Amino acid sequence: MSVKPARKLEIVQRRQRVAELYLQGWQQDAIAKELTIRQPMVSEDLAKIRQAWRESAIRDFDAARDLELARLDRVEREAWAAWERSKQPSQSATVNGEAGSQTARRTVKHQNGDPRFLDIALRCNEARRQILGIDAPTKVAPTTPDGQPLTREERLIHIKAIISEQFGIKALLADETTEVGDEGGDEGRPAAEAAGGTNGRGAGAAEPAVPLGNPSPPAPSAAS
């Protein structure tokens, strides 16, 4: 069943309003109450809106990528053309003598080409490979503002900031608890275990002596 144009316009306008309220942080029930519609309709509208956003982002990304690639292609073509022109011999003419008895001398100078145009073409190729993701990602190690490697303490601060940002403060606290338990050797264990005890009473349980060789037969009892 086809939808009438007036009905399509009403749906588009409603979804635009739903998107505006959603971006402002409104909950679905509040949006439904504001627009006097049912909550399932709001949920359906949001699903359509998110799908449209994803498709739009993909199209925009592809269009931007194609535009940048086209620009690089043009710059690279111009660079190669300039390189070919820079290899052509340069000619100059020198005129000697007075009017009526002048002589002209032509000078031809062969050239090897301007390497700056090759550098431009090479950079275009590198930029194209980065846009298309052909090369492996470059590993970037965190450093100080002056380019020096981070110390152990600075690396720990950097790692904790990443954990807090990605997983929240609970993950950071759990990581610190594990770190305290791992560092310091006996400091992370209870006092009884640090003292050498394993039975929880502050003293180590004595291990029974293990006899060497064959054990002696038991002594006969008095009754026998």
Q: What pLDDT digit, counting tens, does each position of 48-81 carry? A: 998 888 888 877 888 888 889 999 999 999 999 9
Is-contact 150 144, C-beta < 8 A?
A: yes
Query: Would you say residue 95 lies in a domain?
Result: yes
State whether 50 and 90 are in the same domain.
yes
Number of domains in the chain: 2
Query: Would you say residue 202 lies in a domain?
Result: no
State whether 128 and 175 are in the same domain.
no
Question: How distant, in Å, are the alpha carbons of 7, 9, 11, 37, 49 from that of 3?
Answer: 6, 10, 10, 19, 19
pLDDT digit string, tens, across residues 158-190: 777 777 776 666 655 665 555 544 444 444 444
State whether 70 and 114 are in the same domain.
yes
Query: Would you say residue 212 lies in a domain?
Result: no
Q: Which two three-digit tokens encode residue 139?
A: 């590993």
Question: How many other CB atoms are there within 10 angstroms of residue 18's CB atom?
Answer: 25
Select from 2, 33, 3, 6 the least CA-distant residue to 17: 33
- pTM value is 0.44
State whether 160 and 128 are in the same domain.
no
The per-residue pLDDT string of the chain (224 residues; one tens digit each, 9 = 90 and over) reads 566 888 889 999 999 999 999 988 899 999 999 999 999 999 999 999 988 888 888 778 888 888 899 999 999 999 999 999 998 887 777 777 676 666 767 777 777 888 999 999 999 999 999 888 888 766 666 677 777 777 888 777 777 777 777 666 665 566 555 554 444 444 444 444 444 444 444 444 444 444 444 455 555 555 44
State whether 169 and 96 are in the same domain.
no
Is-contact 26 17, C-beta < 8 A?
A: no
Query: Would you say residue 144 lies in a domain?
Result: no
Query: Would you say residue 191 lies in a domain?
Result: no
State whether 88 and 158 are in the same domain.
no
Range of the domain at 178: 152-185
Helix residue spans in the chain (DSSP H): 5-23, 28-35, 39-86, 115-132, 152-167, 169-182, 191-194
State whether 49 and 127 are in the same domain.
yes
State whether 94 and 165 are in the same domain.
no
State whether 128 and 165 are in the same domain.
no
State whether 81 and 121 are in the same domain.
yes
State whether 39 and 128 are in the same domain.
yes
Cα separation, 189 vs 203, whole angstroms:
14
